[in-house]
Amino acid sequence: MAEKLSFVVPKEFDGKSAKSFLRGYCGISAALLIKLKREEKGITADGVCLRTVDILKAGQRIELSLPSEESNIDPVEGKLDIVFEDKWLLIVNKPPFMPVHPVKQHQTDTLANIVRYYNLQNCENYIFRAVNRLDRDTSGLVMICKDKFSANKLKNNVYKEYIAICHGKITRGKTTINAPIGLTAESKIVRHVLPGGQPSVTHYEEIDHCNDISLLKLWLETGRTHQIRCHMASVNHPLVGDDLYGGSREHIARQCLHCSKMSFVHPVSGDNLTVSAPIPGDMQDVLKHYFSNNEILKLREMMHKCN
């Protein structure tokens, strides 16, 4: 069954074309608009079929019937840590060691497979559209949009914060790394800071430090592959556990990186929303190796304030 979106034409679009309203005010992408035009009663005004060239009047109710979609991902039963869900969005706290999307080496053990099983159990049938992508070994929040409209509205419009544990003492306040990232001819995986690479900007701030490690809060202006991992290694502070970029795996079997917070404007309701996910157990265990019990309690209080 197609989902419906409803909008009321405001005064500033009185006398304007339906296309300008749908594209400029509603945020409907050109590709979705083409699909809506092909759907029977895909676009209506007060219940009557509407063409994109038609002129609108203030106060008219415009309704869009989003086309039904079919996912081709294999459903696999598994556990989901759901942080937020409504008819438009699903946000989950992904555990480490789980890929987000199926790839050649991982066809049935991904977040997408489990979400597919979950939505079929709930009589939903949507394509898996992850707004953000986390590395297999990175834990934390992943946002999945259940329709094209929401995915288009939220693309590049979700603020994300990460928590990381890195080597070395960082005692300064907010710091920015503005350095292009790219691949060298010798590697298809490891990123490097390179002249001519993709522009990449990472901001970070120390939460606390002890015994030559630092706990950081990070947020990004760009979303390059391995951006945080590459940037922190480039300033001689590789993430603990990230042996690909020079970190030690003495106390953990993956990089200490966790997407802990998301803030965004809901694509349909317009509400300002913030969701968070606590540091997972393996990263907490790393902190216990370096911080005293009293310091851990202090850190928990500080992390609560961060969220």
Residue 243 known to be catalytic: no
Of the candidates 14, 124, 29, the one whose C-alpha atom is nearest the C-alpha of residue 62 is 14
Q: Which helix (H) or strand (E) holds 154?
A: helix 148-154
Q: State which H helix or E strand residue 201 sits in.
A: strand 201-210
Helices (H) and strands (E) in the chain, counts: 7, 16
Q: Which string of b and e fits 27-43 if b means at least 16 CB within 10 Å?
A: ebbeebbeebeeeeebb
For residue 202, the one-letter residue type is T
Given 135, 137, 147, 242, which residue is catalytic?
135
- Cβ–Cβ under 8 Å, residues 197 and 301: no
- 120: Cα separation from own chain's centroid: 22
Among 233, 250, 239, 231, CA closest to 214: 239
State the Cα angle at 160 between 159 and 166, rounded to 5°.
145
Rounded Cα–Cα distance for residues 27 and 35 (Å): 15
Catalytic positions: 135
